[in-house]
Every structure is written in structure tokens, then in C-alpha cells.
Structure 1
Amino acid sequence: MRDVNDLEGLLRAIDGRGYGGYKRLSGEFALPGWRIGVDHVQADPYAPPSLVRVMVDAETAGLPDDLVDDRAGRIATADFLTRRLIETLHDHREISAGRVGQEVLERTHVAILPDRVEARLEVQLPAAGRRVKGRQAFRILSQELPDAAGRALLHRSLDAGALRSHVRLFRDQAWLRSRLPELGLVAFVGDGSVLPRRSGDSDLPLSDLPGSGAVPFTAPESLRVEVSLPGGRRLAGMGVPEGVTVIVGGGYHGKSTLLRALERGVYPHVGGDGREWVVTRRDAVAVRAEDGRSVTGTDISAFISQLPSGTRTERFSTTNASGSTSQAAGLAEAVDAGASALLIDEDTSATNFMIRDERMRRLIPADREPITPFVDRVRPLRRERGVSTVLVAGGSGAFFDVADHVIAMERYRPRDVTARARGIAGIESPAETATSVFGPAAERIPVDGCLPPVGRRRPVRARGLGVIQVDHETIDLSALSQLVDPAQTSAVARALDRISELLDGHLGIDDAVARIDAMIEAEGLDRLSGFRGHPGFLARPRIFEIRAALDRYRGLRLRR
């Protein structure tokens, strides 16, 4: 292996020459106490940055065994090291360790391996015009990278107590999430949680601002749940039960804020976020209307049927879905993918998909209306498929008749108003029907070649948080509110590349996505990358977001 002297000699030799000389850096170099691996060298100064790994052996890193002896511990520890690395590199314009948000996600940014710990970085190799600046490059690679890694990866350089607290919090959150089904809960919101954010474009807690007036969450007694966590803490808060839960309240009193917190609660959060004890089942899926999205072969017949055009809806396809058909498709796809709960906000829903009032039912009889509103299907969905619903309703009481629980938000404080809502609706309990509505999910099998494997097209690319590019096709993921990090979108793009290698005209969509998820679970996120070494900045998505991207791909074609 080349050493630091070889690195210096190489960079001196190409100093002042054409930028392509940097290609000679590819490979590994041994530095005192460290190794660096240059896995990809950018083509020119204006191309995406070079990919570099900085590695230290596990013994030197000195991470305590009890923090990294299980998957949860490694994820949390790697997240802590990543945040420390980003903080350390704050003033280094040429070096990036990626970005992180308030969620603690499984990432590729820092890898904790049996024999070593490595930081994955992007490095903008310096240039004067299009010529190599060798001395500056040597300083970056031989001094700045090891110095930053030393302050972020070595246990002796870290706040050991903060690291241990970070891992304990993550493990406790994961444990509570795993317990929700046996507790009969969709979600849990801890007392003292602060749900409002600073602003619509910030995910930081409102309580960080002086004089914010942020109201700590307090559970109503009728919904209070207490749990003892493995980390030793006793926790109390509001349990959101399985079944149909309707959240009501006046405008700006916190209805949608609570629902947004539940949406994000499928992921763990950092301490101090305010939502660290908002814990939602990982398979809860937010559903909304998406005018204009593509739908391919989705069974929406439980909600929409007998279209005037004669189009059958058991395998419904369109390149330009309406609000109602898009929401019906999104809901059906989420349920078929295994969602145990749906999170729906009236404000982002198609009104005609959600409800039909009595006057409209009298004017337009059911036999002349193709849409059966969700209010008529929410209980069969629970009874037949075991799927719960948490719904924000601010403008209609139609769901009172079908709700198991009604929670009113008043100045960000919840009250259980189930009895009063039932009194208004004139019922003692939600009505049930014996008629079966939802048949078994039909297998959807893509035709061979509808998503060509890499080699017959360019690799799928992510463009920010909400867009994926497949050759000339754009997949719009902006409506997926539980896609929270651009690194997740990058991972979804890589997952589509791997799925394209599996599709043979016989494998169904669900099986293909399940295989990719199992591969990640067994081999790690790095496996999504098409090459060895630095995999790029990836964060683990759920199966629902991977499948959602495939479902919205306009090139998708299914076997009949």
C-alpha cells in the first residue's frame, strides 16, 4: 500500500498540471494512524466532488463494546459520530460529511465495521482554473481529513456521556416502537413533548426560540399510558389506540401539527427535538391526494367503480390521476404493501373521496355516483384488513359515526371528546356492516424490461428530496411526507437500480421490494451501491417509499 510519502510525491508531480492528473490518486494510502481510500475522483473542478474514505482500526477508535454490539447500537453510535463529524467540518468548504436532520436514521455516512471505523466524505479537490493545486490537496488529504476524523471517530475525543445517552435514547425508542402492537396502540405521544416547529420550512423545535410560548403536550387521563423503558426511565403519555381515531379542533389549535408529528414518529429523533417520545408504528403510512400522478394496475374498486366511461377499476391505470383516484390508489397501494395504519389529513385530501353529506346523497343517488367515500369504507378496512386510521377532520363531523375515539386539540392540548361526539352523532358505538368490501390483494407483476437494468440506461438519480430521474422519466415523490432526508431519496434511487436487476416478468412488485429490504437488513445499505468502497450518502428508506417510487414510475407496465 502506498504511504504518505507516496501521496506527497504524487501530488507534487501533478501540481500545476491538468485536473485529470488527480485520477492517479485512486486507491488507498497509509497515513500515521489512519488510512484514506480515494474511491472516485471527480472529472473536473465543476463535477460532483470526489469520494474519499478515512479509516481507523477498531482498537484505536476505542468505541465501547456495549454500544456497538447490536444493530441498534451501531446505528445510533454511527449517527452520533456523523453529527460530530459534520460539526467538526463546519468551516471546511472543500470537505463534506453530508447532512443530517432531526431523525436518527441508518446511514452510510459513518460505518462501524468489525475491524475498523470509517468516515465517508465528499472532497472538492482544489484547482486553479482546471489545473491541480497539489500542495493544497496534500494538506487536505494528509492533515485536514485525519484531524477531523480524529475529533469525530475516536472515543477519547468524544463526550462519552452524550454518546451513551444518544444510544440509550435510540434503543428505548426502538423498544417502545416494537411494543406498540401488543399495547394495542398505533402511536404514543409522551407527556412534555413539544410538537410545533419553528416554521413551515424548519424542522427544529419551536421551544428553541426565546419566548416562543411552546405548549408541552399532556395526555388526557382516559388515554394515558405508562411504560417502563429498558434504559430505566418511566414514561407516561397519550396512547393513540388501534381502530379509527379522529382528531378535531379549531383552526391553528394543533390538529395537523399532531398528525405531522405522528407521521415523523415512524423514525427515532434526537434528544431535545421535542418529538423524541412521539413514537409511531413503523408501518403507519400517510396518504393524501396527488393530482396528476401516474397509476398502473391498482385495484381501487373498493372506493371507485362503475365509471361512466366503462373503465374497470380492479386494475386501474392512468397517467393523470384526479384527486379522488390518486388518493384511492395511494391508499390501496399502502394497504397492499402492509401498512397497519393510515394517517390522513382532511386538508390534503380530495373532499369527494372522503365524504358525501346527506343532501348530496339525496340529490345524487349511490347508483349514479362512482365514488364510495372513505367514511363508508374506514370501518370495513379496519375489520377486514386490520388497518387503523388516524384522521384530522376540521370541517365535517361525518366521521363521528365511525370513530372509535375522537380527540379534540385546544391550544395544542388534547382532550378526549369521544362521548360528546357520539352524543352529537346520536350513536352509542360505531356501526358495523357484515358486507365484505376488500378482496385479497392482486399480485402485480411488471413486464420484463419496463425498468431496464443499469447498462441499458443510466443509473437512477435522485434530485433533492422529492424527485427521482429514470432516464428521461421523472418520478415525483413530493407528496411522500414520510420521506424526510435527501439521502433516503438517493437510497430509493439505488433500490430501483437493484430492483431492475430482479424484474424478469415473473416477480411481483411486493416480492421485489421485500427482497431489496431483506438485502439491506442482511448486508447493510452499502449493498445498494453498484460498486465497492464509498457508496455515496444514503439513508435507509422504508419499503413503503421504495414501492411508492415504483408505483409512480410512468414507465411501469404490468402483465395482464
Structure 2
Amino acid sequence: MFTSSQLKQQLSSINRKSYPAYKTLKGVYDFRDYQLSIDHVQGDPFASPSHISIRIPQSRAGFPDFCFASAETRTALQDYLLRKFEEQIAGYSFKAKGSGKSGLISTTHCGQEILDRTACQISQKELVVRFTVGFPANGRTINAFELEKIFFEFLPVCVQKSLYYKNLNKKAVEEVIFLAEDQSFIRKELTKQNLVAFVANGAVLPRQSGVSQKPMKNSVPFVSPLSLQVEMHLPHKGTLSGMGIPKGITLIAGGGYHGKSTLLDALETGVYNHIAGDGREYVITDDTALKLRSEDGRFIKDVDISLFINDLPNKKDTHCFSTLDASGSTSQAAGIVEGMEAGTKLLLLDEDTSATNFMVRDTFMQQVISREKEPITPFLERARDLYGECGISTILVAGSSGAFFHIADTIIQMDSYQVLDITKKVKDLCADYPLPPASVPVFSMPDFKRVMTAPAVKRDSYKELKLKTHGRDSFSIGKETVDLRYIEQLADSEQTAALAQLLKYAREHLIDNKKTVSQVIRLLEDKLKKEGLAGICSSSYTPCGLAMPRRQEIFSCFNRYRR
């Protein structure tokens, strides 16, 4: 470790030299109250900025023990500190002048969800914040005095104002921790009360727009129907009432634009905790919930879809089904089976984005095309089996087919964003519109013994495993692109970046053509539990741009990898 004085001397000695001389700065420097680590230096002022980290001993940061009571409270504190740090550095970004990205100071921009991120990590030992800095240059000549401003004038102020407990609003920190504990309490109560989701009265479900996840102003607050209302006695907020969605099959019906998909979207993102003021901070969903849709053209490898599709005309084996170009129905069937393999206990579906022939076959169609000529067993006829045999509940948005009313345990109507429980009314009507008798094939648990194979690769094969993330929707590994557009519960591009690192780590260390997909992912989860995301990073340092994905998204990513 070097001293901050030595950093000043080194900056002075390289001033006005060519840009690569910046690489001599790499190392750790003691600034008394914290350590500044220059982890990676960019090769050019127009290249991706340099990676910097700051480490503060917990003895100096001074956060009380109640902040570390659980993983949820620690993650919530990390999220809060990262937002405060970003606020501070935003005021100094580009105040140091130069060409290209000179003077840029940036870190992760957090959304409405609270995620475990590498950009800020805290333990009872130390607090680590990671960010990037564009090292200043004039053309490609080092401007060391501008970088000195960043290190010795700007950053010390940002660190003092945002990362020390004594300088923060203690009431605000306490509220962050208390909210995390209340959210964790509700998740545990879901199991105790036999529920799959909870939506608090007063929640604001609509979002500002399709590109903004912030709450819509002046929207209709959520109010639970009395028949579905439950009370949660939270440790900090006290008694909170709202709608409890019971286990089983729940149908959300209503006219177009009345709020069906908005409610489903809130339940999708309810697998994550949300920040205070989001409107959805007390919308809590079973954290194994999986949103499914049809995906024409997706890759499927060795999936047992015989539960839904059998006796194909080409005699293709659906007990071990593979295709490079799936249809809507086969993709949705594979998605459900892959979700079962991932341990999902709640399926979320929207009729609008589902394959019609996979979801239902009406009476007239069954008269025209006999069951012997139809290889698909529709979801309508399997949903009860999924719950009865596997304990997998379903929440389904339906707007056109009335057949689903017959199998639903709970039926919710959205009427101008008002929620009505119409279960009894609809069940009385079902007697007047009976479903025709159907001979459904016997339920058989799918086989999950899929071996994960991939071409052997040397660990130093850079080109073969080179990673590039394309926003939230996809990433490339080598020449192969993994398409994640329809993995709708990915909340952040940093989760996509983490999935890329997980897949690369698996390729390098775990895949041996013997382990199943489940075994590979279980080994990855053990690694993440012990070492966090830092344990799977291929670089010599931990970058700031990774966020922890759920188990469901890890499975979804691996299942879409064509190699």
C-alpha cells in the first residue's frame, strides 16, 4: 500500500506524458480515513473509464449493528448508500476538464428495485464502493493536475457526505432498515397465511410510462375487496391491510385498459423489494414467481415437454425435446417445465402474450379437430394438476376466453383500476356454460436430468469466452448471443452482466458433460453464497456493474444458451 502523498508525487511525475503512463498509478493508496484503490486504468481517454474503489473500515464508517441484522437489511443499506454516493459524485462529474471521457465520475444508477450490487458492498468489517473515473487528458497527453482535483478535492467531499454514518440522516437510515425488515416479514407471512402475493391498500401500481418505472402521479390508489383483505402486523409499520392472493389458480379479468396488466406487472416485480415512495414497496410476491410468455424462435435443448405436447406427426420425442426454432406453444411448454426445474411455485401469465393454441381449445374447435389429431394438452387442462401435484399456483390475466373461469379458485375483476372479487358471481354463471368433458392424459412429472454440455474451452481462450453486454436484453459470449428479451423479470442491465459472468464461469470451471443443469447452477449458487459476485468475476478486480440475479433468471439464461 502506498500513501496519498506518493500518489501526488506520481501524478506530478507523469504529467504531460503520453496516456499509457497512467497505468503506473495502479495500486492502493492510504487516505487516512479510507483507502483508494485504482483497480484498472483505461488505455485511452476515449475508452471505457478507469475502475476505482474506496474501502472504509467499519470502525470508521460507524454503522450500528442493527444494519447487519439480515441479508435483506444489509442489501437495503448498500442500496441507500449507493444512491447517496451517486448523488454526490454527479455534482462533480466532468468538472475536471479534458478530451474524450476526461473528468467523468460515475457509478451504478439504481432503479426502483433494491438489488445486491457490486457497486456498494458492506460488511461488519468494511464498506466498499466501486465506481469509474475518466482519467483526464488533453488529446492523448496526460493532464495529471485535473486528476489530482478528482482524487484530492472532489472524492474526499463525496465520501465524507455519503459514506459515514455520523454525516448521514440517522432517521433516514433507520427507515431504510425498518422497511427492509417489514418487507422480509411480509414474505414470511405469505407462506404462513397460504398466500402467493400481497398488495397493500394505498399502493400505487401504474407507472409513469413504458420507459419509466417511477410511480404515476394522480393515479388511483389500490383498494382491496373486503373478501380478499388480510392484515399484516409488521414489526415497524404496525398493522397494514391489503389484498392477499391465495394459493391456487387466480384469474384477473376485466375490460381493456382497466388495469389487468398493470396489476400483473406489479406482481411480476414484487419478487424484489422496492424503495420507499415507489408505490409498490408493499407489493410482495412469492420470490420464486416466474412470468412466462410464448417465444417464437427460441432455442430449446433436451426438455421434457410431454406434459403438454405428445404424439407429434413427425414422431419427434417430446420427452427429450430439442429445437433451434420453437413455436409459440412449444416455447411456452418448455418455459413451464424449465420453471418447475428451477423450483418455481407461482406462474404468472398474460393471455395477450401467450400462444392461444397452448392455453385453450374451445368446444367448437374440439368438434372440428378431434383430440386424437391434436398433440397439445392445453394449459387450461393442466393448471389444476400443476397445483394439485406440484403445489404450483397460477395467476392469469384473461380477457377473451371464458373457459378459465371454470378452473379458477379466485376471480378478480379490474374495473377502472378498482378491484372487485367476482368469484361467487362467476361460479354461479359457470353452471349455465359448462365445459365439455375432456379426457386429459395422466399427469406425469417431467424428467429434469438434462446434462449440460458445451464445447471444451481452455481457460485462457479469450476470444472464445469474450463477454459483451447489450443492455438488459442480451449479451454475447464469444460469437454466440444469448437473447434475454422475454425474461421479463430481469430488472436491470447489471443483472444481465452478472448472468454473462456466471455463464462464463460455468463454461470455464463447471461444465464437464456429466453434470445436469440443476447441478451446475447449484454449484454456482454455493459459490455466490460464499464469495458473492466477486467470486465469479474473470478479471483481477471486481467491477462496479454487476447485480445479483434470481435463481429463475439464471436457469432462464442457461436454457437459452445455444452452445
Q: TM-score per shorter chain, which class?
A: over 0.9
SS of residue in 2 equivalent to 1:258: helix
RMSD: 1.9
Report the Cα offset of residue 450 of structure 1: 6.0
Name the CA distance, whole Å, in 1 between partners of 2:413 and 2:335: 27
User: Match of 1:558?
Assistant: none
Inter-CA distance 69–383: structure 2 relative to 1 (3 Å threshold): closer
Report the Cα offset of residue 428 of structure 1: 12
Of the three residues 338, 343, 358, the one matched with 1:338 is 343
Name the CA distance, whole Å, in 1 between partners of 2:395 and 2:69: 37
Give the stretch that moved more between structures: 359-368 or 106-115. Answer: 106-115
Pair 1:131 & 2:141 matched: yes
**Which letter does structure 2 place at the counterpart of 1:478?**
R
Name the CA distance, whole Å, in 2 between partners of 1:514 and 1:34: 37
User: Match of 2:170?
Assistant: 160
**Which letter does structure 2 place at the counterpart of 1:327?**
Q
**Which letter does structure 2 place at the counterpart of 1:414?**
V
Cα shift readout 1:46-102 (whole Å, capped 9, x = no counterpart): 221111011222122111121124322211111110010111122314111211000
SS of residue in 2 equivalent to 1:174: helix
Name the CA distance, whole Å, in 2 between partners of 1:360 and 1:48: 58
Structure 2: gaps of 5 or more residues: 95-103
Give the stretch that moved more between structures: 314-323 or 443-452. Answer: 443-452
Give the stretch that moved more between structures: 251-260 or 300-309. Answer: 300-309
Name the CA distance, whole Å, in 2 between partners of 1:265 and 1:386: 20
Pair 1:539 & 2:554 matched: no
User: Match of 2:560?
Assistant: 552
**Which letter does structure 1 place at the counterpart of 2:444?**
F
Inter-CA distance 41–367: structure 2 relative to 1 (3 Å threshold): same
Give the stretch that moved more between structures: 25-34 or 261-270. Answer: 25-34
**Which letter does structure 1 place at the counterpart of 2:489?**
Q
Of the three residues 532, 540, 547, the one matched with 1:524 is 532
Name the CA distance, whole Å, in 2 between partners of 1:458 and 1:442: 27
The answer to whether the 8 A contact 2:107-2:544 is kept is: no
Report the Cα offset of residue 544 of structure 1: 1.0
Name the CA distance, whole Å, in 2 between partners of 1:446 and 1:65: 43
User: Match of 1:447?
Assistant: 453
Cα shift readout 1:250-275 (whole Å, capped 9, x = no counterpart): 11110000000000000000011000
Name the CA distance, whole Å, in 2 between partners of 1:264 and 1:450: 37
Give the stretch that moved more between structures: 268-277 or 53-62. Answer: 53-62
Name the CA distance, whole Å, in 2 between partners of 1:150 and 1:427: 70
Cα shift readout 1:337-377 (whole Å, capped 9, x = no counterpart): 11001000011111111111111111011111121211111
Give the stretch that moved more between structures: 455-464 or 114-123. Answer: 455-464
User: Match of 2:13?
Assistant: 13
Report the Cα offset of residue 433 of structure 1: 8.7
User: Match of 1:120?
Assistant: 130
Name the CA distance, whole Å, in 2 between partners of 1:171 and 1:18: 52
Name the CA distance, whole Å, in 2 between partners of 1:453 and 1:327: 35
Pair 1:475 & 2:482 matched: yes
Question: What is the identity percentage for the equivalent residue pairs of Structure 1 and Structure 2?
Answer: 39
Structure 1: gaps of 5 or more residues: 556-560
User: Match of 2:431?
Assistant: 426
SS of residue in 2 equivalent to 1:234: strand
Cα shift readout 1:106-155 (whole Å, capped 9, x = no counterpart): 11111213332121111111111112111111111222222212111011
The answer to whether the 8 A contact 1:172-1:230 is kept is: yes
Inter-CA distance 402–414: structure 2 relative to 1 (3 Å threshold): same
Report the Cα offset of residue 30 of structure 1: 1.2
SS of residue in 2 equivalent to 1:407: strand
TM-score (norm 2): 0.94
Name the CA distance, whole Å, in 1 between partners of 2:144 and 2:27: 17
Name the CA distance, whole Å, in 2 between partners of 1:429 and 1:361: 14
Of the three residues 514, 520, 531, the one matched with 2:522 is 514
Name the CA distance, whole Å, in 2 between partners of 1:263 and 1:190: 15
TM-score (norm 1): 0.95
Inter-CA distance 475–258: structure 2 relative to 1 (3 Å threshold): same
Q: How many residues of Structure 1 are paired with residues of Structure 2 in the alignment?
A: 550
Report the Cα offset of residue 170 of structure 1: 1.1
SS of residue in 2 equivalent to 1:89: helix
- 1:153-552 equivalences under 5 Å are 153-207=163-217, 212=218, 214-426=219-431, 436-447=442-453, 449=455, 453=459, 455=461, 457-500=464-507, 501-552=509-560
Report the Cα offset of residue 448 of structure 1: 5.3
Name the CA distance, whole Å, in 2 between partners of 1:269 and 1:408: 26
SS of residue in 1 equivalent to 2:90: coil
Inter-CA distance 220–470: structure 2 relative to 1 (3 Å threshold): same
Name the CA distance, whole Å, in 2 between partners of 1:374 and 1:146: 59
Name the CA distance, whole Å, in 1 between partners of 2:460 and 2:258: 49
Name the CA distance, whole Å, in 2 between partners of 1:178 and 1:75: 18
User: Match of 2:65?
Assistant: 65
Pair 1:35 & 2:35 matched: yes
Inter-CA distance 193–232: structure 2 relative to 1 (3 Å threshold): closer
The answer to whether the 8 A contact 2:381-2:440 is kept is: no
Report the Cα offset of residue 533 of structure 1: 3.8
Report the Cα offset of residue 522 of structure 1: 2.6
Pair 1:110 & 2:120 matched: yes
Inter-CA distance 432–369: structure 2 relative to 1 (3 Å threshold): closer
Give the stretch that moved more between structures: 499-508 or 520-529. Answer: 520-529
